Amino acid sequence: MAEDMSLHQVPLTLIVAATVKNGIGKNGGLPWPMLKKEMAYFARVTKRVPMPKGTGSLQSDALKTAILDGTRRNVVIMGRKTWESIPPRFRPLKDRTSIVISSQGREKLGNVPRDVIVASDISSGLGALEQAIKDDKAPPVGRAFVIGGSSIYKAALKMDQAKHILLTRIQKNYECDTFFPITLDAESNSSDGWQRSSRDALQDFVGEETAEVPDSETHDGEEVQYEFQLYERP
């Protein structure tokens, strides 16, 4: 994030795994078997802070990278149910700053670490984090990711800051009771102005290579195929 950019302007990236019918959850959990490689991708992408490129010279890029490396941290924004769905030993998510959106307030969420921001909506959460950064109580932000659930995705999609959706398309249907708020076209254009980006654009955004064909994992004899995708809007 640029030093002079308010967190109320920082671009938001929604990151989500969804079935072909946009299902994202069942009974507070995932409806498909645990996909270890897909979860590792989520962890890498949400931890990876983008470094400067194209500043004028390789030396300038390298210098700025050396200065900034380790000083910024990505933020993950989630609803209360998503927070509670994370096993206690894994929350807050390591090497990321957490913002939990809840109407109940911090005291109703149990033993929430002090470095976790609790707010009633995304904007106030980002504002609280910005103040914490000014007070040297939180590191500056690299990227901001919205990680669920459905109501938080819906709120983020209404914000002009929402610029990217990183979708893991689970290429199988499962019974779900929670769904992603918009339909993303598997070919190109989608509703609400979202457009499917190229694999090159995806790789540049996430900072790693992705498979040309759907990846797969097998659990108890069940094969689950999925594909990493990127959607953007102007």
Q: pLDDT tens digits for 145-196? A: 999 999 999 999 999 999 999 999 999 999 999 999 999 875 545 557 899 9
Q: Is residue 7 part of a domain?
A: no
Q: Is residue 36 part of a domain?
A: yes
Cβ contacts of 113 within 8 Å, gap of 6 or more: 92
Q: Is residue 23 part of a domain?
A: yes
Mean pLDDT over 198-222 rounds to: 93
CATH code, 196: 3.40.430.10
| Alpha carbons within 13 A on the beta-carbon side of 95 | 11
Distance CA 154, CA 102 (A): 15
Determine contact, residues 187/26, Cβ cutoff 8 Å.
no
pLDDT digits (tens, 9 = 90+) for 95-133: 999 999 999 888 888 889 999 999 999 999 999 999 999
Mean pLDDT over 27-44 rounds to: 94
Share of the chain above pLDDT 70, in %: 87
For residues 54 and 150, the model is more confident at 150
pLDDT digits (tens, 9 = 90+) for 65-76: 545 556 899 999
Share of the chain above pLDDT 90, in %: 73
Strand partners, 219: 222
Q: Is residue 6 part of a domain?
A: no
Three-state SS annotation for 28-88: CECCCCCCHHHHHHHHHHHHCCCCCCCCCCHHHHHHHHHHHCCCCEEEEEEEHHHHHHCCH
Residue range(s) defining the domain that contains residue 84: 12-232
Q: Are strands 73-79 and 141-148 parallel, antiparallel or unpaired?
A: parallel
Q: Is residue 112 part of a domain?
A: yes
In the DSSP assignment, the letter for residue 159 is: S
